[in-house]
């Protein structure tokens, strides 16, 4: 409530009794005060004001004396009215008001009227909502937002703090198998154990379903954070005795240190979470490293660009001939993906294939590669006078493709669309495909064999597959990795390894392809040892489809 001053002060002051009767008509706490000899004194106050216990002169309460100081400041200014937030009381019974101070209309410049709008209920509701927003209801700890607020509070100290993120391993499995109630009980127990190894000034929070965040103060010795991580792992190593179960849990811990280059709480938390991912892979506590984060960011950039590249059709296939070592004729081509990004730069398969596998983009990329290769082969057949160019195409298949895609359906559909027989397609699998899901891979391989496709084991000898699986699976070709072929003529051990692979293939009635052939001498030696076919720079580098077709016509003429 505000009162505008009159232009000319000519109205005589009202009698105090009349002023009080007028104030009693106001339903909110209100009072008229004035400055007398440098002291703020009451002229009149209404019943709600007196009932609220508001006072100007009680020197025992610094909150109350602040009202007198506020009035003095206002009266000594030229302001007509002001509105401020004002509180009264102690922590237990703190009350919140919107205070309006306005010049009195009675003509005295040293007099003003105070009105108080009680917003305690609203303020307490806001505090309650704020608490709900920043506190985890299960553990009573600060949640991610509350944790961020804690970090923001220490940001000015920069190098004197660190954030640890503790990720509970296999919590999802425990929750799924034993139920959410047991999972909740476990989280509460984990929080208690972690809190038990913290110092009084350390701050524990629950920042995710199975993640806890810890804010600690450190000195110049950063080993303090590592020591805490060891204590946490030790505390969690003892089995947990829950209501009806005993269970063990492990954890991965990542650490990020505050620095002048990090001025955002969320960024510091993300750094610690990135370190957790590295900790899961390494099995040890990891501290955030800028170069590792930069590498991850670069991989993400590749993933984003690759996704667009697949959608926009920016990838192409290059083809490298596979030749019969006896006759020298081309019997097949291996299709290899090539990618030129939006800036016109060629991105190496060494860089983008691992990113595609990690992100799952290998599934659409693999589908595209098979489809594009078969369409190219169909065009070659159409261009051949005999209606058949006489070669097959080999396409690499990722283990992730085998697990996530319906490979038999995909291949069957492509063969139907192109009108090609299954025998014209060779699918090359790595040994890791057999390790990831042996039973599922076996079913898929037999289904592909039923379509007439040839199956090859790529990079044989570099993995850890069980040799017994070669006998059980429908594998037609073993490809000898270039690491055994390169320099083979000057390395007896490599010759022995190649001879052993060739003997194994012969015993299992499999054909062989040697990779990395660069000289005639190497080709002749491999042929003499019994290798069926080979590929390498001796015959041709991987080249675009039209160039590859020209190579085919020239060599097989």
How high is the pLDDT of residue 8?
A: 40
Alpha-carbon distance of 154 to 64, in angstroms, equals: 32
Alpha-carbon distance of 368 to 362, in angstroms, equals: 10
Give the three-state DSSP class for 217: strand
How high is the pLDDT of residue 1?
A: 39
pTM, full prediction: 0.63
Q: Are 57 and 77 in contact (CB under 8 A)?
A: no
Exposed (0-12), middle (13-18) or buried (19+): which is 229, by Cβ within 10 Å?
buried
Alpha-carbon distance of 254 to 165, in angstroms, equals: 5
Which is it for strands 211-217 and 203-206: parallel, antiparallel or unpaired? antiparallel
Of 79, 100, 236, the closest CA to residue 168 belongs to 236
- Mind listing the domains of the chain with CATH numbers? 16-123 (3.30.450.20), 135-288 (3.30.70.270), 298-556 (3.20.20.450)
Q: How many CA atoms lie within 13 A of 293 on its CB side?
A: 16
Mean per-residue pLDDT pooled into runs of 10, the chain (557 residues): 41 63 86 84 87 68 65 87 87 86 72 91 81 86 92 79 93 87 92 94 93 89 88 93 84 90 87 92 88 81 92 94 95 96 88 91 95 97 93 94 91 96 94 75 92 90 66 89 92 93 92 95 95 95 96 92
Q: How far is residue 83 from each of residues 100, 114, 117, measured CA to CA in Å?
A: 5, 10, 11
How high is the pLDDT of residue 32?
A: 87
Alpha-carbon distance of 327 to 345, in angstroms, equals: 38
Which ranges of 462-491 would DSSP assign to H, the alpha helix? 467-472, 482-485
Q: Which residues of 347-365 are buried (b: 16+ CB within 10 A; e: fewer)?
A: bebeebbebbbebebbbeb
How high is the pLDDT of residue 77?
A: 87
Q: How far is residue 386 from each of residues 389, 419, 421, measured CA to CA in Å?
A: 7, 16, 16
How high is the pLDDT of residue 466?
A: 61
What is the four-CA torsion angle of 365, 370, 372, 373, rounded to 10 degrees?
130
The beta-carbon contacts of 233-238 under 8 Å, at least 24 apart in sequence, are: 233/285, 234/197, 235/193, 235/194, 235/196, 235/197, 236/190, 236/193, 236/194
How high is the pLDDT of residue 544?
A: 96
Q: Are 139 and 127 in contact (CB under 8 A)?
A: no
Q: How far apart are the first and last CA of the chain?
A: 102
Alpha-carbon distance of 264 to 2, in angstroms, equals: 42
Q: Are 539 and 323 in contact (CB under 8 A)?
A: yes
């Amino acid at each position: 409530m505000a009162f505008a001053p009159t232009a000319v002060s000519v109205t005589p002051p009202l009698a105090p009794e009349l002023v009080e009767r007028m104030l009693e008509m106001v339903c909110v706490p209100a009072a008229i005060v004035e400055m007398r000899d440098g002291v703020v004194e009451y002229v009149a106050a209404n019943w709600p004001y007196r009932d609220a216990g508001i006072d100007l002169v009680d020197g025992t309460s610094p909150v109350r004396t602040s009202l007198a100081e506020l009035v003095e400041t206002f009266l000594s200014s030229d302001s007509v009215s002001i509105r401020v937030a004002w509180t009264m009381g102690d922590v237990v019974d703190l009350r919140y008001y919107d205070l309006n101070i306005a010049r009195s209309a009675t003509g005295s410049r040293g007099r003003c009227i105070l009105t108080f709008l009680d917003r305690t209920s609203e303020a307490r509701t806001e505090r309650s909502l704020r608490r709900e927003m920043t506190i985890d209801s299960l553990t009573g700890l600060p949640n991610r937002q509350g944790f961020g607020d804690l970090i923001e509070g220490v940001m000015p100290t920069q190098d004197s703090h660190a954030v640890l993120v503790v990720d509970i391993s296999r919590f999802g499995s425990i929750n799924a198998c034993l139920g959410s109630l047991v999972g909740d009980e476990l989280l509460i127990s984990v929080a208690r154990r972690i809190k038990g190894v913290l110092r009084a000034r350390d701050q524990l929070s629950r920042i995710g379903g199975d993640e806890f965040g810890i804010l600690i103060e450190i000195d110049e010795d950063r080993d303090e954070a590592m020591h805490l991580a060891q204590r946490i792992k030790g505390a969690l190593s003892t089995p947990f005795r829950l209501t009806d179960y005993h269970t063990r849990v492990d954890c991965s811990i990542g650490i990020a240190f505050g620095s002048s280059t990090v001025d955002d709480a969320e960024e510091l938390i993300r750094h610690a979470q990135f370190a957790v991912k590295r900790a899961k892979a390494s099995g040890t506590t990891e501290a955030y490293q800028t170069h590792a984060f930069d590498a991850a960011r670069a991989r993400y950039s590749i993933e984003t660009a690759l996704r667009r590249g697949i959608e926009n059709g920016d990838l192409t296939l290059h083809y490298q001939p596979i030749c019969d070592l006896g006759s020298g004729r081309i019997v097949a081509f291996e299709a290899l993906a090539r990618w030129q990004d939006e800036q016109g730069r060629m991105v190496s398969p060494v860089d983008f294939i691992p990113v595609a596998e990690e992100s799952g983009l290998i599934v659409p990329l693999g589908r595209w590669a098979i489809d594009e290769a078969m369409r190219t082969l169909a065009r070659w057949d159409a261009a051949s006078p005999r209606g058949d160019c006489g070669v097959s195409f080999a396409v690499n298949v990722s283990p992730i493709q085998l697990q996530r895609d319906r490979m038999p359906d995909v291949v069957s559909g492509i063969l139907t669309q192109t009108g090609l027989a299954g025998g014209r397609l060779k699918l090359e699998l790595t040994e890791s495909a057999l390790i990831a899901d042996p039973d599922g891979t076996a079913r898929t391989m037999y289904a592909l064999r039923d379509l007439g496709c040839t199956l090859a084991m790529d990079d044989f000898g570099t993995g850890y597959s069980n040799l017994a699986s070669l006998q059980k699976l429908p594998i037609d070709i073993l490809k000898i990795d270039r690491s055994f072929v390169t320099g083979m003529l000057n390395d007896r051990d490599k010759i022995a390894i190649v001879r052993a692979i060739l003997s194994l293939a012969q015993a299992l009635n499999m054909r062989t392809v040697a990779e990395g052939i660069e000289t005639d001498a190497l080709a002749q030696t491999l042929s003499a040892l019994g290798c069926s076919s080979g590929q390498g720079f001796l015959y041709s580098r991987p080249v675009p489809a039209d160039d590859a077709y020209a190579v085919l016509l020239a060599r097989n003429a």
